[in-house]
Amino acid sequence: MYHTTTRGLLLAAAAFAASPAHADDSVEFYLSRIAALNHAGPHLNAVIAINPDAAQAARIATGAGTGPLAGKPILIKDNIETREPIATTAGSLALADNVTGRDAPLVARLRAAGAVVLGKSNLSEWANIRSSASSSGWSATGGQTRNPHATDRSPCGSSSGSGAGVAAGLAWAAIGTETDGSITCPASMNGVVGFKPTVGLVSRTHVVPISHSQDTAGPIAQNVHDAALLLTAMAGSDPADPATAMADARRTDYVAALKTANLKGLRIGVLRKSAGSDAKVQALFAKALADLKAAGADLVEIDYDRDPAMGRDELTVLLYELRVDLGAYLAGLPGKVAVRSLADVIAFDTAHADTELRWFGQDTFEQAQAATDAAAYKAARANSLRLAGKDGIDHLLAANHVALLIAPTAGPAWPIDLVSGDHGVEAGAGSLPAIAGYPHLTVPMGAIEGMPVGLSFIGTAWDDARVLAAGAAYEAARTVPLAKPTFAPWRERALR
């Protein structure tokens, strides 16, 4: 039997669950949901900070009545700078004073399209690169983000608050960032749409970095249409980010591209082995394949085994680039912050071990600080890029005469474990597009015991429009019912 307080919280949360998550797009509506579901009730901890100027910004945006995102309230992952008087912390207390007063170019583009910054979303601290034993969605600034489908299960990460926030209806949509899986995994496990664009389509300026080779921002939304709307606004070249030099030439109207979305005759490569060994994931994947085939897709089975050297060399790249790229970001920050290098961050964490290192350490940071072999780094980058790109996705597409690749994005969410950390994700092929820098979309394909699982669509460089269109066509053809958030612990729900 539930305690009275627990039962009351569950009843209140159930009332929110029964109401439309996006009954209207007003700032006031979303602030009320944040108050009830983030700061109270199930305490989702998906939102770190509220923009104090959000209501006024919404009045201006809706009054102007222009722009494809006019008045739409969105959450921005808290490793992306915004001009509001709130810190960009990357979840760390070391950046508690990092109020830069400037917008990342991607945020400026969203504002120009009419979007309203509602607030900042929680994340795995430092985008989940600090420790090998971390719990996805935990940060010293925001606490542990909870999955609205089961509050005792992981939201995945590192864009945990962005995924959970959209799933819980705390904002119309959100922006996340990904180095490897940090948009697509939380979108999948929270039952929403997430899109990792081609690296170089969206600016990374004023975004707390891990790796210039693999970092990108991307949209998390309720459906593919809204993700495409956000991407159309976000995409574009930025003189301060050399990777985006081709973005203006490559970008398009991604919403318009959805109008012709069709699966008929589309050859899609099925990465069967990437479904993992879980029979329930395989069964759900089989239903998605049946829906794709019924809609006219030509499915091609592909026998692919990931080369272990790809992941090994990716880690070498991430460790080396983290020290250099994060150091450059911190050194260039305006104002007064407590840290100016990775070494400073490590020292800060050690000095504040009671709060920063309470649950897990910083072994990955320490490895990165020691990663100074430039020759080994260059060789690792060349090899991992080849294995994921030319000899990976590009080879699989060409050799099998397919346009796209598909696989489950991940398995269902595991229990939150702050003592031992994440339990890992067996299913999925997300590292291929992450390392190659290619587009990757996840769309909900159903649920296992109430826990969402997504379907991944993967393409080659700059094929973002085709990937989104295929995902939208699948979304329309999907026959499997989707789970709705319960805002209750899975353990208690299962025992009722």
Question: How far, in whole angstroms, is CA 288 from its chain's centroid?
Answer: 22
Tell me the two tokens of residue 245.
Answer: 């030099």
Tokens of 275: 């479904």
* CB contact at 8 A, 120 and 81: no
Of 124, 158, 162, 384, the catalytic one is 158
Q: Is residue 158 among the annotated active site residues?
A: yes
Dihedral over Cα of 455, 458, 464, 469: its sign: negative
Angle at 62 between CA 56 and CA 64, to 5 degrees: 105
CA torsion sign for 374, 377, 379, 382 is: negative
Rounded Cα distance between 483 and 478, Å, is: 13
The residues near 193 (Cβ < 8 Å, ≥ 6 apart) are 187, 219, 220, 221, 222, 223, 224, 226, 227, 441, 442, 443, 444, 471, 475
Q: What is the DSSP letter of 243?
A: G
Which member of 182, 188, 211, 456 is catalytic? 182
Residue 157: helix, strand or coil by DSSP? Answer: coil
Exposure b/e, 48-71, CB count within 10 A at least 16 = b: bbbbeebeebbeebbeeeebebbb
Q: Can 26 be counted among the known catalytic residues? A: no
Verify whether residue 154 is a known catalytic residue: no
DSSP code at position 93: G
* Identity of the residue numbered 253: D
| Owner of token pair 């919403």 | 255
Give the active site residue among 77, 121, 196, 431: 77
| Alpha-carbon distances of 192 from 47, 149, 173, 261, 455, rounded to whole Å | 17, 11, 10, 19, 11
The residues annotated as belonging to the active site are: 77, 158, 182
